[in-house]
Amino acid sequence: MDFFRRVSGKGYVFIWCNEAVVYEAVPPLRWKRSFMLRRALLQGTLVPVVEPTFGLVSVSKSVVAVLVYGAALPFALIVGQHRFMSLSLKLCAHIGKLLALIGLNPVKEPYVTE
């Protein structure tokens, strides 16, 4: 987000192209659920830093989201692993935002190791 915000601020324009072919090699380390959850937590901690509009409304939304997603997790597990992981990732991102506000960084090392 920071990159696109800075470059757009300099007057550059980004254009979407559906026909563009893009490939990305994803190392096996990044296939793991623990990696995805840690990344979501880390991304949440970065939001208050790079998002200038992050304020009371955003904090309130994150508090409500943590409560709702936390309560919904057991039911999501019944529906399926895909729904459980989707909610878990959202939950981690919101927890990361709230932790960043109180000055805690739960992810000490960089999340990409390969």
28 contacts 88 by C-beta, under 8 angstroms: no
Cα 93 to Cα 112: distance, rounded to the nearest angstrom:
17
Tokens coding 88: 């878990």
Q: Which residue has the higher pLDDT, 95 or 110?
A: 95
Choose among 91, 57, 99: nearest CA to 72.
91
Tell me if residue 34 falls in helix, strand or coil. Answer: helix
pLDDT per residue over 19-35, tens digit each?
999 888 988 888 899 88
Residues 6+ apart with CB under 8 A from 114: 27, 29, 30
pTM (predicted TM-score): 0.73
For the chain, domain boundaries: 27-101
